[in-house]
């Protein structure tokens, strides 16, 4: 049982550590759990009857993966005028919120883009990471603008800290760690960290078996070396800056507010 002092926190752990499994267990124990992105998307889609009907349809179809589905659709230009109407306007809202966020957090945004440029990803995939970061920042800004004093229990599975785990180029460990320190220094401090503490070796095995977006396979030696160093730096940063973090198992997760 993890006793929380605040109601906003992020899941943190290596790719393949079991964060998604932990999140599903949390939601199964407490259906009131929400996320920044889910709140932004839901509020926007409920604004008129047409988009609200679509919201009900995809909410039933995708359930807990609702927000992830929306994120994959936001930046696409559709021939279908109905979908184009919905997602184009949502994209306008995201751009609006990000512009405000970036004005107040310019260094954070710059340092994240710098991290993405240290990776092995294609230009297309780099743009995807930056776009997802932009969407998250927008939803963060929207939440604190509209729900700062609310009683929402927020669980973000891909928050600010989790984004440091990228497929970095080899032999740049000192440069990467330096850039990560600059990045995490700029992260807002109004959250808790829920650390899914799974060893790197087991995380790699689980990640390779699941076949999702992230893969260690082409860079396994370097990533298995640098990811523990990254995790250590993040946790030390939390200690120094009095950010509450809690170590949990992905199989036994429960929160007491």
Domain boundaries, the chain: 2-256
For the whole model, what pTM was predicted?
A: 0.87
List the chain pLDDT tens, one digit each, 257 residues: 444 445 888 999 999 998 888 888 887 777 788 899 889 988 888 887 877 887 787 777 776 666 776 766 665 545 556 666 677 778 888 999 999 999 999 999 999 999 999 999 999 999 999 999 999 999 999 999 999 888 888 999 899 999 999 999 998 889 999 999 999 999 998 889 999 989 999 999 988 877 667 888 889 999 999 999 999 999 999 999 999 888 887 666 555 54
CATH of domain 2-256: 3.40.50
Could you give the 3-state DSSP secondary structure of residue 105? coil
Contact indicator for 35, 155 with CB cutoff of 8 Å: yes
Contact 229, 176 (CB under 8 A): no
Helices (H) and strands (E) in the chain — how many of each?
A: 10, 7
């Amino acid at each position: 049982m993890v006793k929380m002092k605040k109601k906003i926190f992020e899941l943190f752990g290596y790719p393949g550590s079991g964060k998604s499994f932990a999140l599903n267990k949390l939601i199964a124990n407490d259906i009131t759990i929400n996320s920044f992105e889910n709140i932004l998307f839901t509020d926007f889609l409920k604004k008129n009857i047409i988009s609200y009907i679509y919201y009900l349809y995809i909410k039933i179809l995708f359930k807990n993966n609702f927000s992830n589905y929306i994120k994959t659709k936001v930046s696409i230009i559709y021939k279908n005028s109905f979908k184009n109407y919905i997602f184009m306007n949502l994209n306008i809202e995201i751009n609006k919120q990000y512009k405000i966020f970036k004005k107040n957090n310019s260094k954070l945004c710059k340092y994240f883009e710098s991290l993405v440029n240290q990776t092995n990803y294609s230009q297309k995939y780099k743009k995807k990471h930056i776009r997802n970061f932009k969407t998250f920042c927008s939803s963060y800004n929207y939440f604190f603008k509209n729900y700062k004093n609310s009683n929402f229990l927020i669980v973000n599975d891909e928050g600010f800290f989790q984004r440091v785990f990228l497929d970095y180029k080899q032999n740049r460990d000192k440069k990467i760690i330096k850039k990560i320190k600059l990045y995490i220094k700029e992260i807002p401090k109004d959250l808790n960290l829920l650390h899914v503490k799974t060893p790197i070796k087991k995380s790699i095995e689980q990640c390779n078996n699941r076949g999702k977006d992230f893969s260690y396979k082409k860079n396994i030696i370097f990533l298995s070396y640098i990811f523990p160093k990254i995790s250590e730096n993040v946790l030390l940063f939390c200690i120094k800056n009095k950010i509450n973090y809690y170590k949990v198992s992905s199989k036994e997760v429960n929160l007491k507010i």
